[in-house]
């Protein structure tokens, strides 16, 4: 049954295509998505539809809201990822979810992770040390998605041999995340060495003013390399997510 609207479920039951138990299960799945009293409508159907559970944007959410969401996802057997989770919230949540892992630089809170076929391989490249928090968020996201994640740090364009001598590492990845501030030139260079997509993440890091990341954002959008697509400023999560999704698709075939 390719459709999950309420009408579809009910008429399938009426036609005898679904048992009452199956209907109950499907309805619980749907209506369990609402945590009453917390202003939260969790989308537990996301994993079926889009391949991954809903990732939770932690900023602005109360501790109670976060706990409710984690509990609902755990009951549904879905691994959880909270981004922009501050350390205080993480410390309290860790008591309830002892198997969780908190990465303070990335500010990600992870409970479990997905499994993946064929060893999807994501490489996260950074231009400089100051880009690390954003890069870490990308790493944590791709790890949560079941990918093998490697990093290549401090290979900014001003020192040309640094990248060239490591180009084989670039060429082994299924997808590359490239995190850079300042002039944001790195994704163009990296993309010229690889045959896989490069997801560029501009950061708001810069000597003098980089206009809060607008300079590298524009630079990356105008990249002369065709295999570069861009996500939001400082959006390490999105960079990791896109690369993770692509790497998983590619690896699935490899598995055979």
Output the 3-class SS for the chain. Answer: CCCCCHHHHHHHHHCCCCCHHHHHHHHHHHHCCEECCCCEECCCCHHHHHCCCCCEECCCCCHHHHHHHHHHHHHCCCCEEEECCCHHHHHHHHHHCCCCEEECCCCEEEECCCCCCCCCEEEEEECCHHHHHHHHHHHHHHHHCCCEEEEECCCCCCCHHHHHCCHHHHHCCCEEEEEECCCCCHHHHHHCCCCCCEEEEECCCCCCCCHHHHHHHHHHHCCCCCCEEECCCCCHHHHHHHHHHHHHHHHHHHHC
Interface with a second copy (CB under 8 A), residue from 105, 115, 128, 146: 128
Q: Are 177 and 240 in contact (CB under 8 A)?
A: yes
Chain positions 55 to 84 lying near a second copy, rule: CB under 8 A, are 55, 57, 59-61, 65, 83-84
The least CB distance from residue 97 to a second copy, in Å, is 20
Is 249 a residue that touches a second copy (CB under 8 A)? yes
**Cβ-based nearer residue to a second copy, 90 or 135:** 135
The least CB distance from residue 148 to a second copy, in Å, is 16
Separation of alpha carbons 255 and 92, rounded Å: 40
Chain positions 92 to 121 lying near a second copy, rule: CB under 8 A, are 118
Chain positions 134 to 153 lying near a second copy, rule: CB under 8 A, are 153
**Cβ-based nearer residue to a second copy, 14 or 20:** 14
**Cβ-based nearer residue to a second copy, 98 or 169:** 169
Stretch that binds a second copy, among 21-29, 38-46, 92-100, 108-116 (CB under 8 A): 38-46
Separation of alpha carbons 43 and 162, rounded Å: 44
Is 5 a residue that touches a second copy (CB under 8 A)? yes
The least CB distance from residue 224 to a second copy, in Å, is 5
Stretch that binds a second copy, among 3-11, 72-80, 85-93, 98-106 (CB under 8 A): 3-11
Chain positions 181 to 240 lying near a second copy, rule: CB under 8 A, are 181-185, 188-189, 191-197, 199, 204-235, 237-238
Chain positions 39 to 58 lying near a second copy, rule: CB under 8 A, are 39-41, 43, 45-46, 49-52, 54-55, 57
Is 87 a residue that touches a second copy (CB under 8 A)? no
The least CB distance from residue 21 to a second copy, in Å, is 21
């Amino acid at each position: 049954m390719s459709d999950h609207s309420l009408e579809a479920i009910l008429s399938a039951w009426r036609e005898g295509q679904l048992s009452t138990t199956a209907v109950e299960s499907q309805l619980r799945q749907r209506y369990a998505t609402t945590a009453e009293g917390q202003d939260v409508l969790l989308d537990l159907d996301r994993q079926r539809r889009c391949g991954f559970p809903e990732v939770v944007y932690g900023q602005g959410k109360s501790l109670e809201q976060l706990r409710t969401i984690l509990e609902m996802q755990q009951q549904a057997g879905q691994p959880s990822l909270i981004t922009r989770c501050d350390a205080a919230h993480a410390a309290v949540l860790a008591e309830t979810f002892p198997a969780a892992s908190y990465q303070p630089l990335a500010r990600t809170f992870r409970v479990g992770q997905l499994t993946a076929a064929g060893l999807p391989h994501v490489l996260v490249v950074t231009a400089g040390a100051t880009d690390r928090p954003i890069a870490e968020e990308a790493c944590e996201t791709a790890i949560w998605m079941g990918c093998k994640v490697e990093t290549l740090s401090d290979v900014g364009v001003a020192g040309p041999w640094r990248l060239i001598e490591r180009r084989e590492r670039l060429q082994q990845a299924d997808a590359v995340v490239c995190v850079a501030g300042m002039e944001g030139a790195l994704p163009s260079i990296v993309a010229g060495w690889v045959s896989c997509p490069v997801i560029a993440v501009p950061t708001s890091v810069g000597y003098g003013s980089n206009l809060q990341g607008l300079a590298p954002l524009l630079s990356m959008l105008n990249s002369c390399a065709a295999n570069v697509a861009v996500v939001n400023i400082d959006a390490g999560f999105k960079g990791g997510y896109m690369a993770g999704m692509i790497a998983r698709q590619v690896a699935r075939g490899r598995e055979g």
